[in-house]
Amino acid sequence: MTVEDRLRWENRYRLRSAPTEADVALPAVFARFASLFPSAGHALDIACGQGTASVWLARRGLTAHGVDVAPAAIAQARMLAERCGVTARCRFEVHDLDDGLPAGPPADVIICHRFRDARLDGQVIDRLAPGGLLAISALRAIGTNTSPFRVAPGELARTVGALTVVTEGKTDTECWLLARRT
pLDDT digits (tens, 9 = 90+) for 64-90: 999 999 999 999 999 999 999 999 999
Lowest mean pLDDT across 4-13, 19-28, 49-58, 103-112: 4-13
pLDDT the model gives residue 162: 86
d(CA 140, CA 116): 10
Partners of residue 111 on adjacent β-strands:
45, 135
Partners of residue 43 on adjacent β-strands:
64, 109
Q: How far is C-alpha 108 from the geometric centre of its chain's CA atoms?
A: 13
Q: Collapsing DSSP states into helix, strand and coil, what is residue 109?
A: strand
Percentage, residues of the chain above pLDDT 90: 85
Q: Are 112 and 22 in contact (CB under 8 A)?
A: no
Q: How far is C-alpha 83 from the geometric centre of its chain's CA atoms?
A: 21
pLDDT band at residue 34 using 50, 70 and 90 as cut-offs: very high
pLDDT band at residue 1 using 50, 70 and 90 as cut-offs: confident
pLDDT the model gives residue 24: 98
Percentage, residues of the chain above pLDDT 70: 99
d(CA 31, CA 12): 25
Quote the pTM value.
0.94
Mark out the alpha helices in 33-139 (DSSP H runs).
52-60, 71-83, 121-127
